[in-house]
Amino acid sequence: MARDLARAFGAPLVTSTISRLLVDLNRSIGHPRLFSEAIHASPSELRAAIVERYYQPYRAQIERLVMRSVSRGRRVIHLSSHSFTPELDGKVRRADVGLLYDPGRRAEAALCDRWKVSLAALAPQLRVRRNYPYAGKGDGLTSHLRRQFPQASYVGVELEVNQAIVLAAGRRWTALRRTLIDSFRAACAP
């Protein structure tokens, strides 16, 4: 999804193949779930090496890209692409797509409102929810960047896609990727 979005909008792409079982790149240092239980129980030297090798370069690259654009007077719209499990702790999650944002940041709320409307127009069968299955202002990379950059310069949205669609692959997943791109383009139009 992230590759398709970056290609469609000519945007830089920062990706990682590191599993959250090693280190969760979307968590802050010190967060209790930064590491899985196995890694958390490992020696502190190993955890520090993991942070230095995987976590810091990923986060630094994103911060550099945002800073470069902001310093040129541009407003950055940062989409962080994720997936979520259809069921967690016995509770079925009732959404196909989640749009996470900080409701206190007007530009983020407005963009997600427009994106949700655009998605409904293009694919009314999709179950799209805002700040679901997670709260948009919880700990994460976008929250970190919001503290670094004012809302006039930085708009951070996390796109969450139900893994049931991703893992099923096929036409539905292909169609969803196209729909997310087309609807996002419409949501960003002046």
Task: Go through the chain and tell me how many residues it has.
Answer: 190
pLDDT in tens, the chain (190 residues): 999 999 999 999 999 999 999 999 999 999 999 999 999 999 999 999 999 999 999 999 999 999 999 999 999 999 999 999 999 999 999 999 999 999 999 999 999 999 999 999 999 999 999 999 999 999 999 999 999 999 999 999 999 999 999 999 899 999 999 999 999 999 999 7
Report the C-alpha gap between 29 and 32 in whole angstroms: 9
Domains parsed from the chain with CATH numbers: 2-188 (3.40.630.40)
Name the pairing type of β-strands 154-162 and 76-84: parallel
